[in-house]
Structure 1
Amino acid sequence: MAEQDGRHWDEHYANLGPAPVRGVVAPGFLASHSAVIPIAGTALDLACGRGMSTVWLARRGLDVVGVDVSPVAVDQARDLARRAGVGDRCRFAVADLDDGLPPGPQVDVVVCQKFRDPRLHQAIIDRLSPGGLLAMEVLSEVGAAPGPFRARPGELLAAFAHLDLVASGEGSGCAWLLARR
């Protein structure tokens, strides 16, 4: 599956082309909650795509590892980090998250956008350092048709119920959550 996923996403990102540096802003669900995102420490950006969230976190002062299944996306992310002047704060890896999280130390922030795999929920929690922040946004059935890649109503709140909730929302086909370990 990884090879097929990689090819699909390689084609997708090749068609998009490199992200513009001026397009690096707080991800939608974090824009109104950016004050809770640390300005120092470490972060892991899962399914990082072209690296826009990775670079945004690095610009805030975090040292970030971005992971994606697409080598094309990872190359574009490295290039974006370099062009944005934060290449020294960003590392990237090609990894298939279907195989689990790549090994690594606990981090202060885990960001995961538009990628959902309930099998990884516990591994994501375990990767957070004590007091670490999870920032997750997924496609949702709330306000949209059900589908295999969409979270059921209340899924994120239930999956991360033993974390301390900072904020959450569901609607218009998206669900998001900010929570601390």
Structure 2
Amino acid sequence: MAEADGVSWDGKYAGRTAGPPRLPEVFAPYADEVPTAGHALELACGFGQASVWLAERGLTVQAVDVSAVAIEQAQGLASSHGVGDRCTFSVADLDDGLTPGPPATMILCHRFRDPALYSPIRDRLAADGLLAISVLSEVGAEPGPFRARAGELRKAFAGLQPLAAGEGDGQAWLLARRSRR
């Protein structure tokens, strides 16, 4: 994203506050699949509600977002829930690729889509790691540049073992596990 995107997202987050820690609604029914130890990476974390939820579950979390305003809120949320030492939040432009870090026991990407990152996401996932990804979709909605085509996530992550997936009402999502190597 261009610097202007960061400014735009800062404006969208300004004056709002983070809600309670939670897993995104689409993945909530599968909360028991989420690991309780290891390293998690959250892309486009926004206010950090999911990152804090993951840290409360026992994971060490690295989270990134293009908005400095959102990252500041996320840091405050983590501190107020006693997991500030388990979360590292940073401003990052995902157009530049994934930030460096160890293989991830879990990668969470909710409502952010960049097909150029699909391969690096897959490569960053540790053996037996869990991927939870949701994007806007053309299925049940108008086509657009930020919307996935039908079957895009299943195709992009075909090498992973799908646990659950869905497409409709303008959203596509996938919960999948990488096989042990």
TM-score by length of 2: 0.96
Where do residues 19-58 of structure 1 align in structure 2 (5 Å cutoff)? 19-20=18-19, 23-58=20-55
- For residue 120 of structure 1, report the CA deviation from its aligned partner: 0.4
Q: Distance in 2 between matches of 1:172 and 1:93?
A: 32
What residue number does 2:145 align with? 148
Q: Give the distance between the partners of 1:101 and 1:25, measured in 2 at CA.
A: 23
Alpha-carbon distance in 1 for matches of 2:74, 2:124: 22
CA shift, 1:104, in A, is 1.1
Q: In structure 2, what is the equivalent of residue 105 of structure 1? A: 102
Counterpart secondary structure, 2:75: helix
Partner of 2:10: 10
Structure 1 segments (4+ residues) deviating >6 Å: none
Residue 88 (structure 1) aligned to one of 70, 85, 89: 85
- How much identity, in percent, do the aligned residues show? 59
Partner Cα distance (2:68, 2:23) in 1: 24
Q: Which amino acid aligns with 1:151?
A: A
Corresponding residue of 1:127? 124
Q: CA RMSD in A?
A: 0.9
TM-score of the pair, normalised by structure 1: 0.96
Mapped contact 1:44–1:65 kept (Cα < 8 A): yes
Aligned residues: 178
Using the alignment, how far apart are the partners of 1:27 and 1:151 within structure 2? 19
Residues 135, 177 of structure 1: 8 Å contact kept: yes
What secondary structure is seen at the aligned counterpart in 1 of 2:99?
coil
Q: Distance in 2 between matches of 1:92 and 1:164?
A: 29
Unpaired segments ≥5 residues, structure 2: none
Q: How far apart are residue 2 of structure 1 and its match? A: 2.3
Instruction: Give the secondary-structure state (helix, strand or coil) at the position aligned to 1:50.
Output: coil
Deviation of 1:26 (Å):
2.1
Task: Structure 1 unaligned segments of length 5 or more: list them.
Answer: none
1:174 has 2:139 as partner: no
